[in-house]
Structure 1
Amino acid sequence: MKCNICLNKEADKKGSHIVPAFILKTLFERNKEFVVSIGSEAVQNHIGRELTPEQIEEYMGRELTDEEIEQNYIPFIEDNIFCSDCEKRLGHLESLYADKIHKKLSVLECDKDDVISFENEIGLISLFWYSVILRFSIAQHNKFNLKEKEYRAIRNYLNNNLKDTTQELKSHVEKDISFNCPYPIGIFFNSNAVKKLSSNSVLDIPKYKNPYFLLFNEYIIIFYNKATQVNGMKHSFFGLEKSFEATKNINYNKQKECQICVVRNDVWEEVKTNIFELFAKFKHREFVDMFRFVAEHSKLSFTRENIVNFVNRILYEDTHIADRYDRIRVLTILAEELNKLPKIK
């Protein structure tokens, strides 16, 4: 398999980070994490390698099964997606962004809305976020995918602008692409390092394609493929509108300054709540569609009440949160509820 950036060398690198480690630092402690990811069929648990059996039981309310131990992995780290050279080039970019941008943001209290302008840094900042978006798009653990044309454009841009040394990259982003931002991007931030008000997440919003709406722990990224799309239609951004008119804070090509919006704590919490409520609706709809599909395929007679009973059992029957949406549990409840239904005569 060829590298997803250069397309020339073999993708031989092990343990590539889909999301840079410094962005996830406040989400969990490395190798001691307990991560819940929202998949297409169920919610999966991922347990860090250094968690003790006692800690796992505290999180899950039980011991791991042999199957869970065998299949366990931590998302955001994947093998054989880049060659070693491109991995190093990405590392130089991450280090430069972390040192020049993220360090300044991570100490903020976020007790008020603010816009921080980074002069002559739009090339560095946009290049970094394009790299994260591309990696997130090729990751196997989530459903987010750039369109093929978008992927090719961003891959080409990365391949042309990543450099072999930190010094080369520093010079390149300061002189050659200091005002480059070919794909419009909005960057919104709330620090989880100072007070740790609540745990954050990494996810994309399904069906948001124009623009894409992505949450990377302390960052929300709004990403457009074309500048003409920014004001082409009105968008809802889950409550960010209380702090900013989001489309006015989108960074474009040839701007001298790059704006990063600092979102105050109460608005950030409301935005996350609205996002999770949307995901709950998506998950509820999936359960309803699952029940309907199997019942109709099996020619069973059912009512709305049967569907409600099925969903309520998943949501409210006594079980630990770690197992509530487990695939086997959901399918077991489905089978039990379907067995109560008569055949259509």
Structure 2
Amino acid sequence: MTCALCKNREADKKNTHFLTDGIIRSCLNLDGSKEREKGFYFDLSNDNAFIEFNFQRGTSVDKLKSSLGRDVTDEEIEKAKSIPFSVDNVFCSVCESYFTEIETKFISEILPSFRNADLTGKDRINLTDIKTVRLFFYIQVWRTAVCDDTLKISADVAENLRLIILNHSTVNANELSHYPIAITYLQTTGDEAEYTTNYVGFTNDRNPNLIIMNDFVIQFYENPDTVKFFNFYGLTTEQNYKELINFSEQQFVVNIFQNSNRKQLLKDFITTDRVKLTIQYYVDSFEELWLKLFGVYPPVQTTQEYLKALTGGDEFNVLKYTKENIMEITVKFIQIKIN
């Protein structure tokens, strides 16, 4: 297989993180540490009602049971053998060194302005090193689009980003700045374990393409004509979103989302995008099953009773179920109703 970046050498590199490991690792680890293979995460882009819960090989079984509220399945244990947000044999070792060069410069020179910095009361930071910042976030967008079908960008944009990254040593800031991009930093205060409350994932069901990678959120637009306001849980407002989109900029602006707002965003995100949609999925499935069994849709009261049996009074419980759990609860509920 030929390397996706240089399109010349053999893709011989194993375990290439398409979302930078040094950024997401503290989110995936149980205690927020920088150790590898001790974390778990959710697939934000999964359109199935059954949450794709994933964990890494070193994760504590007790912690998993506590988080899930159930035993870990054999399928999940098998999946744990893979390393999240990484791929094998997509890039070559030489091109991997290009990625490392870009990532190292960002982490050493830009990241300290955010992590462990006092951002209290700040609503934005202006960065002068446009090249380092844009290259870093471009590799997140491009590698994700190459490595995961969930995030899609047009062929022309993908090819242009490839050439920019491949020629990163000679490209200048002006050549980099014609893609609108907005970056938000989610201020994460407290001890290191607080990073585990953040998310890692991406979605293409909104305009723009959006990537959440721990304490950074990327909003990438393919061209200026597609730029418009969309409400992502208060990340930006109709009044300020244009100011926070970087396009042919002289300085690169980063939106600062204060810690209290971050917590509310994460709560709203998981409630709206997962709990409510999952519950609606279960309701629809239950009503279709009832129709097939009895020839009519269930009375509203019956559906409400089913939801109560499903959630136990706490809607967040629906995130813990496997398909087998749902089948057991549904069969038991129907048996009780017909006996």
Same-fold call, TM > 0.5? yes
1:70 corresponds to 2:78: yes
Task: Determine the structure 1 residue equivalent to 2:51.
Answer: 43
1:17 corresponds to 2:20: no
| CA apart distance, 1:307 | 3.7
Q: How many equivalent residue pairs? A: 325
Q: Are residues 281 and 162 of structure 1, via their aligned partners in 2, closer, same or farther at CA, if it must alter by over 3 Å?
A: same
Cα pair 2:40 2:54 within 8 Å, conserved: yes
TM-score w.r.t. the length of structure 1 is 0.79
Cα pair 1:251 1:258 within 8 Å, conserved: yes
Tell which deviates more after alignment, 327-336 or 125-134. Answer: 327-336
**CA–CA distance in structure 1, aligned partners of residues 333 and 4 of structure 2:** 45
Q: Are residues 246 and 53 of structure 1, via their aligned partners in 2, closer, same or farther at CA, if it must alter by over 3 Å?
A: same
Task: Specify which of 183, 189, 205 is matched with residue 187 of structure 1.
Answer: 183
Task: Determine the structure 2 residue equivalent to 1:251.
Answer: 246
Cα pair 2:279 2:318 within 8 Å, conserved: no
Cα pair 1:3 1:83 within 8 Å, conserved: yes
Task: Determine the structure 2 residue equivalent to 1:155.
Answer: 158
Give ranges in structure 2 of 5+ residues lacking alignment.
Answer: none
Task: Specify which of 181, 197, 200 is matched with residue 198 of structure 2.
Answer: 200
| CA apart distance, 1:153 | 3.0
Cα pair 1:4 1:81 within 8 Å, conserved: yes
Q: What SS is found at the alignment partner of 1:221?
A: strand
Q: What SS is found at the alignment partner of 1:157?
A: helix
Question: What are the Cα deviations for residues 8-29 of structure 1, in whole angstroms up to 9, with x where unaligned?
Answer: 4443322111211111133124
Given residue 181 of structure 2, which amino acid in structure 1 is its aligned partner?
A: I
Task: Determine the structure 2 residue equivalent to 1:221.
Answer: 218
RMSD of Structure 2 on Structure 1 (CA)? 3.4
1:87 corresponds to 2:96: yes
**CA–CA distance in structure 1, aligned partners of residues 47 and 334 of structure 2:** 22
| CA apart distance, 1:297 | 5.7
**CA–CA distance in structure 2, aligned partners of residues 155 and 219 of structure 1:** 22
Given residue 117 of structure 2, which amino acid in structure 1 is its aligned partner?
A: L
Tell which deviates more after alignment, 47-56 or 76-85. Answer: 47-56
Given residue 12 of structure 2, which amino acid in structure 1 is its aligned partner?
A: D
Task: Specify which of 164, 170, 183 is matched with residue 172 of structure 1.
Answer: 170
Task: Determine the structure 1 residue equivalent to 2:152.
Answer: 146
1:278 corresponds to 2:272: yes
**CA–CA distance in structure 1, aligned partners of residues 93 and 191 of structure 2:** 37
Given residue 205 of structure 2, which amino acid in structure 1 is its aligned partner?
A: K
Question: What are the Cα deviations for residues 112-154 of structure 1, in whole angstroms up to 9, with x where unaligned?
Answer: 23321112x22332222121122333445xx73214x2xx234
Q: Are residues 50 and 234 of structure 1, via their aligned partners in 2, closer, same or farther at CA, if it must alter by over 3 Å?
A: closer
Given residue 143 of structure 2, which amino acid in structure 1 is its aligned partner?
A: R
Cα pair 1:113 1:262 within 8 Å, conserved: yes
**CA–CA distance in structure 2, aligned partners of residues 323 and 271 of structure 1:** 18
> Percent of counterpart pairs with the same letter?
22
Tell which deviates more after alignment, 33-42 or 267-276. Answer: 33-42
